[in-house]
Amino acid sequence: MQRTKRILTATIAVLVCASIIVGSSTEVDAKTTREELMQIRKDKLKVMDSIASGNKTLEKYNAQMAASQKAIDDVQVQVDKVDVLKKQAEQKEEVYQKKFNERLRQLYERGETGYMSQLLQSNNFSEFLVRFEMVRLLAQQDYALLEDKKKATEQVQVQIDKLNQLIAKQQKEVDKSKDAFNKMMAEINKSKGKLKELQGMEDANESELIDINKALISSGKLKFPYTGPLQRPMDYPITSGFKFRWGRMHEGVDFGTQGKIGIPYRAAADGVVVESRVSSGYGWLITIYHGEYNGQPFYTRYAHSYPYEVKVKVGQEVTKGEIISAVGNNGHSTGPHLHFEVRIGYGAKPPAKDPMKYFGS
């Protein structure tokens, strides 16, 4: 009998030690996973900031390209106008070139003797000089007019060349911005790949942490310090306080939304979701454990939302201000509102406390 008693005592001791070791191991795993998850989230924020910064830079390059392209388009309009002038100048030049060519042809066909005979037919020397001057001036005039038209065409071409230089300069700016844009786009795509990788790691760690937290919840070993004060879960007026109402205690406060549903509300403090379930009076009930407060567990509860609005699940860690669900009119409710409770203590339904005493200033 004594031998049996000793064996039973030893067995219980082993089981107790094993329970302590497993519990301790689970808490260590939770701490490690939580730290890894926090680091992953920090890395994610850095990558997301980098992507946001890159997108702003892309906008800048886009604006630069658009400005340079507009400058090119504006100059091209001027080029088109000057091109018309150039064609007109070339047409005039062509006309005067034909006239000059005709004059040369006549001179060639008639030859020196032809002109000489005209000059020798002069009645006197003065007439000879006049006729000679006329012949010279006719040829000179034709040539001068042609030169004027050529110069006019050249001047228009100079304008076009200058405008084309402006276009080339702006095109370089476009190409420069485009190259920078493409490089930045490559960096952003690389960052997006990194973000996707981190998201996968976060999901895996978050899933693992949820499982660990669930085990800690089940074993009653989920413990960490309370980090208040509470933040109001939404910026809407309180329509009913913590008081006796309709013959019984109203164990929380109601945030009214003037008949609106779907208004998001947030976690009042950092914590772990320990309940997210249907509850007849509450409609859908979310309970968050916020840690040990003066040696007792501190909880907040959120009621009356619809299940499709719920953003969290049991075991999930939430931060103060994180959206967890939205206002509904589910359960025993006289209209759309958030019923919010603070409960401190042990048991399935710890004692309710007035939430107004726990909100920060």
pLDDT in tens, 152-181: 777 777 887 887 888 888 888 889 889 988
Cα separation, 78 vs 65, whole angstroms = 20
- Residue 144 pLDDT: 65
Q: How many CB atoms lie within 10 A of CB 280?
A: 8
pLDDT at 256 over 60: yes
Question: Which has more pLDDT, 131 or 196?
Answer: 196
Kind and range of the H or E run holding 272: strand 271-279
Cα separation, 91 vs 114, whole angstroms = 32
Give 304's Cβ-side CA count (13 Å radius): 25
Buried/exposed code over 235-271 (b: 16+ C-beta within 10 A; e: otherwise):
ebebeeebeeeeeeebbbbbbbbeeebebebbbbbbb
- CATH number for the region 238-357 comes to 2.70.70.10
Which range has the top average pLDDT, 79-83, 129-133, 307-311?
307-311
Cα separation, 306 vs 327, whole angstroms = 8
Torsion sign, CA atoms 32, 33, 36, 42:
negative
- Average pLDDT score over the chain: 80
Q: With beta carbons less than 8 A apart as the criterion, state whether 265 and 234 touch.
A: yes
The domains of the chain are located at 1-220, 238-357
Mean pLDDT computed over 19-38: 67
Mean pLDDT computed over 237-241: 94
pLDDT at 35 over 90: no
pLDDT digits (tens, 9 = 90+) for 39-93: 887 888 898 898 899 899 989 888 988 988 888 888 788 878 877 766 776 776 6
Question: Which has more pLDDT, 277 or 111?
Answer: 277
Q: How many CB atoms lie within 10 A of CB 39?
A: 13
- Residue 1 pLDDT: 45
Cα separation, 278 vs 305, whole angstroms = 10
Question: Which has more pLDDT, 223 or 300?
Answer: 300
Mean pLDDT computed over 233-242: 95
pLDDT digits (tens, 9 = 90+) for 140-153: 666 666 566 677 77
Q: With beta carbons less than 8 A apart as the criterion, state whether 252 and 242 touch.
A: yes
Residue range 1-220 in CATH 1.10.287: yes
Nearest CA to 191 out of 37, 55, 39 is that of: 55
Nearest CA to 322 out of 353, 344, 300, 352 is that of: 300
Mean pLDDT computed over 231-240: 95
Q: How far is CA 36 from CA 40, 166, 205, in A?
A: 6, 56, 8
| Cα dihedral 208/213/219/220 (nearest 10) | 170
- Residue 17 pLDDT: 38
Q: Hunting for tokens 């859908």 — which residue is that?
A: 284
pLDDT at 128 over 60: no
Q: How many CB atoms lie within 10 A of CB 213?
A: 23
Mean pLDDT computed over 255-281: 94
